[in-house]
Structure 1
């Protein structure tokens, strides 16, 4: 995990995510990996967030380098789903991997028993 790019997380996202993770069952690999990511994150307020950073509720355009497919998904909390909008939960492997990355960053996210998920951030749009 030491070759992962630096990540930036909004302080209010960190607080909400930390509270959510405390309620997750032990053994949830994605939740445990997300917790490790939060531990290494640089916490910032909105004014100091580097441009192009993936935050909760961001619309993220990224490439799965494992199959060359591009996706545009909104990063959401597990309980939030918008009708007609493509979303990815922060508790899904891809969602946990995207949090805090910036445009141009890439990450190899381990998947149990499978080859890592290789993602590259192309564009980020923040929710209003």
Structure 2
């Protein structure tokens, strides 16, 4: 069973807008849409600070390998804005969106299933008007 996720209505609109214009394979688009469909949607002001959102800097650990990473989650068109960027359309990026500190999720990689745990979430560090 996948963990509960929370997404802001602004992030949902931004991701859906980008999905409509993407050239992602149909099965991958379907997987992202399934993630979005199972989310609780809240207004941006009601999104808890410990939840991974577009623009959040998130520290996560891949439990299977005990490797830890810190990345800024962004839309595919904005990956050039941060040295540590990861696209929400990357497999791990879509897995991170909506999770909160302490939650774990399993996701499929080329090397097989992996489990990731959210260690720390730093609130959005983007221009607040960027995704409005």
**Shorter-chain TM-score tier:** 0.7 to 0.9
Which shows bigger deviation, 4-13 or 17-26? 17-26
Cα-to-partner distance string for 1:77-98 (whole Å, 9 max, x where unaligned): 1111225x21110111110100
- Aligned pairs for 1:34-53 within 5 A: 34-53=32-51
Q: Which ranges of 4 or more aligned residues in structure 1 deviate by more than 4 Å?
A: none
Structure 2: unaligned runs, 5 residues or longer = 126-132
Matched residue, 1:98: 96
Preserved CA contact (<8 Å) 2:49 2:123: no
Q: TM-score, normalised by structure 2?
A: 0.85
Counterpart-to-counterpart distance in 2, 1:46 and 1:99? 14
Matched residue, 1:60: 58
Structure 1: unaligned runs, 5 residues or longer = none
Q: Quick one: structure 1 residues 88 and 30, their matched pair in 2 at CA, closer, same or farther if it must change by over 3 Å?
A: farther
Matched residue, 1:82: 81
Aligned residues: 124
